[in-house]
Amino acid sequence: MKDIHQAIDCCSDDTTITGEGIVADYATSMREDAFAVSNEEKKVRIALLFKEIMEVIGLDLSDDSLRGTPERVAKMYIEEIFSGLDPANKPASTLFSNTYAYNQMLIEKNITLYSYCEHHFVPIMGRVHVAYISSGKVIGLSKLNRIVQYFGRRPQVQERLTNQIGAELSAVLDTDDVAVIVEAKHLCVCSRGVADDASSTTTVYYGGRFRAADKIAELHNYVFR
Ligand SMILES: [Zn+2]
């Protein structure tokens, strides 16, 4: 494997490879003390801070409907929508030997994506198509979905998300022959700012044999037909 796929333990230093097995350029910027406090402590702190935001914008938290919101948001941040920041939540990748000698591309398409724009903290919603050509290892199909979900559950930009999924698949499957296509709508574009809900964003990661025009054409034929 190339350096790009080596794995070490830190994800905060821009010059190193991350515990996610992805190069630092692809890594989510994390504080060194990111995991110094427990998830329970984080939820308590987020609830207090979110309550303050709600009060600053003028909401009356004595209202029945609003009272539990700070705790709900804190729980959602830690346990759901940002749970992909914690390497402990990374899906274990069950691999099998490619005993059936399948040597063409495998495509898992239309994987549901929910992520969150790191600039506005509003949803990114879309579909992810991934493909690989086995180097001898085969991954359980649902693991492809879980890897997409794991990297989606972070504050993201779509470009980094795409590269993180591609690099992780490449590391897990021990092959450069990996492709990722992400098609997504960003709520920060759809519902505010230019308020354009017709536009969408496509990003791609083509590694190894997927850089060849014929392989890209074949992949697009399966994904977009
Ligand atoms: Zn945004």
Give exposure, 6-22, as e/b (b: 16+ Cβ within 10 Å).
eeeeebeeeeebbebbb
DSSP 8-state symbol, 191: S
- CA 173 from centre of chain: 17
Query: What does the alpha-carbon distance between residue 18 and residue 12 come to, in Å, rounded to a whole number?
Result: 8
The model's confidence at residue 103, banded by pLDDT at 50, 70 and 90, is very high
3-state secondary structure of 100: coil
Q: How far is the CA of 199 from the centre of ligand 1 (A)?
A: 14
Annotated catalytic, 6? no
The model's confidence at residue 104, banded by pLDDT at 50, 70 and 90, is very high
Give me the residue label for tokens 């821009």: 14
Catalytic position from the list 156, 158, 164, 183 = 158
Express each pLDDT in 4-60 by its tens digit.
333 333 333 333 444 555 555 789 999 999 999 999 999 999 999 999 999 999 999
Residue 127 bridge partners (DSSP): 112, 183
Express each pLDDT in 156-196 by its tens digit.
999 999 999 999 999 999 999 999 999 999 999 999 999 99
Query: What does the alpha-carbon distance between residue 12 and residue 17 come to, in Å, rounded to a whole number?
Result: 9
The model's confidence at residue 225, banded by pLDDT at 50, 70 and 90, is confident
Give all domains of the chain, ordered by start, each with its CATH number: 39-84 (1.10.286.10), 92-224 (3.30.1130.10)
Catalytic position from the list 6, 10, 71, 120 = 120
Annotated catalytic, 120? yes
Evaluate whether 136 touches 98 at the Cβ level (below 8 Å): yes
Is 5 within any annotated ligand binding site? no
pLDDT at res. 99: 84
**Helix, strand, coil abundance in the chain, percent, nearest 5:** 40, 20, 35
Query: What are the tokens at 156?
Result: 């993201």
